[in-house]
Copies of this chain bind each other. A is one copy, B any other.
Amino acid sequence: MSRRRSSARGARGERHDPLRAGRRQAESLSHFVFAALGDPTRLAIVRRLCYEGPLSISRLAAGGSLTRQAITKHLGVMERARILRSERRGRERLWRIEQARLAEARHYLDVIAKQWDGALGRLKAMVEG
């Protein structure tokens, strides 16, 4: 996730707003998703869930080189980003993918790409016109 804004005595005076943040909506929607997917371990987990279906924590941790706790933390992050969803099943907890969420992220990339095309189009028009 994001780094905290540097200390309270931010040297240059102005505070907050990374590049005039804009579109909080888009941020809250996608930035967390991408951040979550940006970690190799997390991506691996997602991939495994995709191949093997819903799995429990210890199942995910078994075999790998990481502690169960480490896995648990990653699952937590992805749950908060709503990429995954958990469901208690007896004494274990099954994790599954929130597929719709991935679709959202996908769509966001679409929008970005389209806007980029638009920007280039306007630019070209200005130069030529």
> Does the CB pair A99–B122 fall under 8 Å?
no
Nearest B residue (CB) for A106: B109
Residues of chain B lying within 8 A (CB to CB) of residue A47: 22-23, 26, 112
Task: Return A55 CB to nearest CB of chain B, in Å.
Answer: 10
Contact between chains at B51 and A40 (CB < 8 Å)? no
Identify A35's interface contact among B14, B38, B122, CB under 8 A. B38
Is A15 part of the binding interface, using a Cβ–Cβ cutoff of 8 Å?
yes
Note all chain B residues with C-beta closer than 8 A to A115: 50-51
B18 and A123: CB pair below 8 A?
Answer: no
Interface residues of A in 30-88 (CB under 8 A from B): 30-32, 34-41, 43-54, 60, 63-67, 71
- On whether A18 and B41 interact (CB within 8 A), knowing A50-B119, A52-B119, A116-B97, the answer reads yes
Q: Is A117 an interface residue (CB 8 A)?
A: yes
Offer 20 A-B interface pairs, CB within 8 angstroms, sorted by A. Answer: A1-B38, A12-B65, A12-B67, A14-B65, A16-B65, A17-B65, A18-B44, A18-B66, A19-B48, A20-B44, A21-B40, A26-B47, A30-B37, A37-B38, A38-B38, A99-B116, A102-B109, A102-B113, A105-B109, A109-B109
